[in-house]
Structure 1
Amino acid sequence: MSDTTQPPYSVLFVDDDEMSRNHFARAIREDYCVHVASSADEAIAMLSEYGSEIAVLVTDFRMPGRDGDDLLRQVAQEYPQIVRILVTAYADKDMLLQTVNTGDLFRILEKPLRTETVQEVLKLAIARYTERETRQQRLLAMDETLAFLAHELNTPLAAISLFARSVESDIAEQYDPERQKEIGHAATAMLNNAQYCLTLISSFWATVHKSGGQQSGSGSGLREVKATRLIATLLDTYPFAGSQRDWIRVDVQGDFIVRAMPNCVSLVLSSLLSNALRALGGSTAPSLHLEVVGGSEPEIRVRDNGPGIAPEIKERLLLDPVTTHAGTGGHGMGMIFCNRIMQSFGGCLRIESALGAGTTVTMGFPSVKSRVHAAHDKASPDSQVVWK
């Protein structure tokens, strides 16, 4: 298949009239995944199950029980990322003003609904949703990346600090007094710089969390993200050059939820996409497949038909700073960084390649079984978290 198995965005339509629900679903189902509900309570129940997928809520105002205004208020509070649209057949100005002010409405549609109008408004609503999601994902990506970098830098900096102390205290009897003095000054400078970096990381990390990081770590900030959604968002925002987007196919063999650091996973995916596109630059018939494989051991594969990688370089890519793009500014740290991100939450990165036969990079995610064990270990009162 050339794209994901279902439209990347979902719309929830709420109306107590069954005929209205059927007409709405028929009008947009070719472009969107449609969920329908007959009441506010049914809509909330549906959001509890599909809230991470739904981009737009369209609700009638007049319904038995809780009306659309009440639903909009609850959704605005519990699902702020969803773009909200009100449908009404009533021209009550005071009611409309109150609803706009309390429900943070994107648009108001008047009955009877016209297909062309609905499609145009939904297109604008999806653009608003994508803009919000991109901004939020960037903030969360910064939060997750800082956490990863802080973890990765703490250990080597602490080791440098300890080594500096050791050098500072063990230089006696090895060199003449002048040389001892020089080494002592170097060790002191090393120690001071390491301690400065450790302090900087600690204070910066604390500042990030005080200013907004806690929000992203709260229940409302964490939303389940499916692998196909990550890919769809990447393809929507990546700065493709020329016809590069036409080289790409998305093959889905079962979707799955990216549960650990989805924004860092997006960084890895973006880096792998960039490498593949660069490798395909000189190909006569470039082809790039992004494959999503669900199941007990989920994977995302980036498969290209480029020139491939020499065995001696492939064996070192995830371990040493080697690069196949030195002539264009490559420094070889990207794959190491990507590998460290995947390993940090129990995943892995695998590379299969041969000269003249293309390259496949596989992002392996923790299996369901390993996640269950991890959750059990975390819940155990005797367990301890150790940063190595």
Structure 2
Amino acid sequence: MQPFYDYKKFAMLYVDDEEKSLKYFQRAFGETFRVLTANNAADGLKVLQAHRPDIALILTDQRMPGETGVQFLEKARPVHPRAVRIMVTAFSDLNSAIDAVNTGAIYKYITKPWDVQELEVTLKRAMEFYIVQNDRDLLLREKLSALHKMVITDRVISLGVLAAGLGHHVRNAMVAVRTFIDLAPEMLHREQADLEELRHPEFWTSFYRKVQHKVKFIVDLLDGLDQVADSAHLSNEARVRLHEVIAECWNDHRGAFTDAGLNVEFQIPQNLPEMVVDHPKFTRLIHLLFRDALINLTSGNTLSIEAASVANEGPDENVVIRVSDNGPGLPADAVASVFDPFFLRADKPQEFGINLMACYFIVYHHGGRIDVDSRPDQGLTMNIHLPLAPKPLAAENDSEEFLSKVMINDRLWERLLSSN
């Protein structure tokens, strides 16, 4: 069975200084192909630049006033490297053919007068070659994108599990530190030590308060990791309205945003369908998004939160929450690391990327995903895709399965490099 190709999916450009040849070519092949024409190399280059995404084939006559066909193809090649190039001439010029192959990288060399049927077959094969090549490139880009997302997911999950595991041991050590700090004032009182007799009582009082604050910060951080990385199961499922949850969380952060001089815009339709979520975790997700904005945005910036219901493949339906700002943004090479717990988005060493890593975990546990887009000086945009009714994720308790997942990065890239 012959494969079906849409020969009008892409256009072909024919450059010839003879008007009759252009008209004849248009009349002979216009019904089968989309044909663009130009009567000199300069105009041909302008047409190519204007219609580059639509052009698959470039045909040109060799001997034209001004630039020759070889010279035109040489200029056209960097403009559209993927285009299939064909040389058409009425002269049997071997040197021109060699130059066309070497500098223009042509697909075929055709002499005039051409046979319409033979040329149509040649054009069809060339168009099929381009379509297959284009489809292959699209599939490869999709494959790379999918692998890239899998690698990011693997890294975030591995770091999260590692952080949660280490958190258990850090917490045990912090218990002793916190106990000592809490007991210090009482023990000083028992020892009948008078702070006023110390040389620098303000230093010890201030230092004591700072240590208490830092200990509380670490304990809260560990609590946050425990809440998002302890289990992939949704244990407190509830039906919620998105606008109500966001409004409830916003009330807790309104004052902080006002003090920071930040603006907030909401576009959450009240008629969105109900969502089935783990209510504590989902509420924490919204709180973390607000907290991340407070950390990374500066006075005058605006945080925008929008939502919409979109149809998914199959019977399922998703809600997409779009969180964007007009802050400093990130360079393209840093976007992949935005969920890394050790990534610093703002110049604040005390605030690592724990918040967004926790967001990633919560969304992942709800069967969703987060797409991030950012450019320097153009802000950060996160699109959070969540199913209305998440399906439970399989638990990964087996140590061999976990090690396999940790090593998946190398295997993914080995597959990619070994694939055709």
Q: TM-score range by the shorter chain?
A: 0.3 to 0.5
- Structure-1-length-normalised TM-score: 0.45
| TM-score, length basis structure 2 | 0.42
